[in-house]
Amino acid sequence: MKNALICLLLVVLTALLFILGSKDKPKSVAPSAYPELTQIFEQANGNPALAGAAIGFCLLDAGGKVVFERNSHTAFIPASTLKTLTTATALEKWGPDFRIRTTLHSTGQVKDRVIAGDVILRGGGDPMLSLQDLESWAIMLRNQGLLRITGRIIGDGRLLPGSLYNDFWNWGDIGNGYGSGVSGLNLEHNRFIAQFRPGTELGMKATFVGASPEVPGIEWLNEVTTGAASSGDGVVIHGGERTHLMHLRGTVPLGGQNFQISGAVPDPVLYAAHHLRLAFINAGISVDGEATTADSTNMAEVSEILFEHDSPPLIDIIESIHASSDNHETECLYRLLGLSENKQPEAVVKEYWQTRGLAFEGLRMEDGCGLARADFIRPVDLARLQHLAGSGPQGELYRGSLLADTGGNLQWKGGAMSGVRSYTGFVKAASGADFTFALMVNHFSDSKELDLLRTAILSVLRKS
């Protein structure tokens, strides 16, 4: 009897260990069910051009079941495919018509065509606010009879406190346009265009023509030289939060008149206040005071709202993010997600998808856009996220916001940085079957071979 009980306990224990050991493991069909995919990955493993590369892949059927995978339970650096976690979360939590509001206030009422006090531009975290918006407000107020502001133009970006930049963004990123910072008050994506005139010979110093729109309070240190005619953009801008000195280094190509690159504004709030002041003056409204920021000045109580401006609908912002892979737009949404629940944004994302049946493992979101190399996600979780978002309450809008091929059979979001490529989305096969996929590759050196790998995989999925 004792021996029989021991045997029974061993059987139960073995069963429990099997269940625990198989929890969340890839439930893929036999590799022979997708022999072409098996062959592709075997060839990739033996390809000298991809030696040392880490390759992860997950394929889900229309029901969300894993039907093929390779290393899908290993976390990879995702680059910009991480943006889909931010966009899908915002779309489901807030809905497609959600808008972000910016307000224009004064500390004194408009009387006898004069505001006796300051004008305050208070940001709500809108990533889409433009110079054209500011100019239209100024013209509107001038048409309503305003002629003078006796006080200052104050930018207020305190809604999103803390650093403009993520701690894990590279120093070489944060001065350039694609790494522009995030504030409660943003203008023109907190970017400017730097113009250079190349020298007439290789190696000659290039002339810095200027920045547009104007960036107030900046001293420019230009060390840019002239590179080969086919060298393209070799300029790196080193700035930093609220710095007054911007370093311009690298090369611009020989030939042509002016060469343009995008840079990041070091003080977005002052930038917005400065250009609102210019907009008033250009509209015929005199401004006695200077442009400044709310965190560097004392302000009187607001007495009047002059204007309220709403961003484009959320779905338009998401479509822009998926089309251009804009880091700034994504980070604004990501930080607003955290603010909406007074939590870290990563916690908001994880907790929401937990309610939808997706418990991330190995997920690390240092930012919401994928610019940080300290971001990690497993291919299986990235694919599952797409499946849930694509079949969820906003599924049609979400899928429609992604990039698509001519026939609409491939809808996808890509991500790229040095040594990192990732792709995720939806494929409709020739048979009519729907698949969701995530392909993630880290630590490669030959981008041409990687492009061939991606093309081969998608070709198999389309014709299956």
User: Whole-prediction pTM value?
Assistant: 0.91
Examine the domain organization and report whether 428 and 416 are in the same domain: yes
Q: Is residue 8 situated within a structural domain? A: no
pLDDT of residue 295: 80
Examine the domain organization and report whether 148 and 217 are in the same domain: yes
Final residue in a domain of this structure, among 311, 335, 353: 311
Task: Answer yes or no: are the C-beta atoms of 424 and 412 closer than 8 Å.
Answer: yes
Q: Is residue 451 situated within a structural domain? A: yes
Tens digit of each residue's pLDDT (9 = 90 or more) over 70-79: 999 999 999 9
Q: Is residue 17 situated within a structural domain? A: no
Examine the domain organization and report whether 193 and 284 are in the same domain: yes
What CATH number did the domain enclosing 404 receive? Answer: 3.40.710.10
Tens digit of each residue's pLDDT (9 = 90 or more) over 372-424: 999 999 999 999 999 999 999 999 999 999 999 988 899 999 999 999 999 99
pLDDT along the chain (464 residues), means of 10: 44 39 42 82 94 96 96 98 98 98 94 96 98 98 97 96 94 93 98 97 96 97 96 92 95 92 97 98 98 82 88 98 98 98 98 98 97 98 98 98 94 96 96 96 94 94 86
Q: Is residue 20 situated within a structural domain? A: no
Q: Is residue 5 situated within a structural domain? A: no
Examine the domain organization and report whether 387 and 250 are in the same domain: no
What CATH number did the domain enclosing 236 receive? Answer: 3.50.80.20
C-alpha to C-alpha distance for 453 and 6, rounded to whole angstroms: 53
Report the C-alpha dihedral over residues 163, 185, 326, 373, rounded to 10 degrees.
10
Examine the domain organization and report whether 391 and 266 are in the same domain: no
pLDDT of residue 303: 75
pLDDT of residue 256: 78
Which domain does 195 fall in, by range?
100-311
pLDDT of residue 227: 96
Of the candidates 377, 427, 440, the one whose C-alpha atom is nearest the C-alpha of residue 399 is 427
Instruction: Please provide the distance, in angstroms rounded to a whole number, between the alpha carbons at the two ends of the chain.
Output: 56
Examine the domain organization and report whether 339 and 416 are in the same domain: yes
Examine the domain organization and report whether 306 and 234 are in the same domain: yes
**Looking at the 3D structure of the chain, how many domains does it have?**
2
Which residue carries 């091929």 as its tokens?
A: 405
pLDDT of residue 299: 73
Which residue carries 């997708």 as its tokens?
A: 34
Final residue in a domain of this structure, among 292, 311, 330: 311
Dihedral of CA 134/135/136/142: which sign? positive
Q: Is residue 277 situated within a structural domain? A: yes
pLDDT of residue 378: 98
Examine the domain organization and report whether 347 and 230 are in the same domain: no
Final residue in a domain of this structure, among 294, 311, 328: 311
Task: Answer yes or no: are the C-beta atoms of 446 and 50 closer than 8 Å.
Answer: yes
pLDDT of residue 463: 86
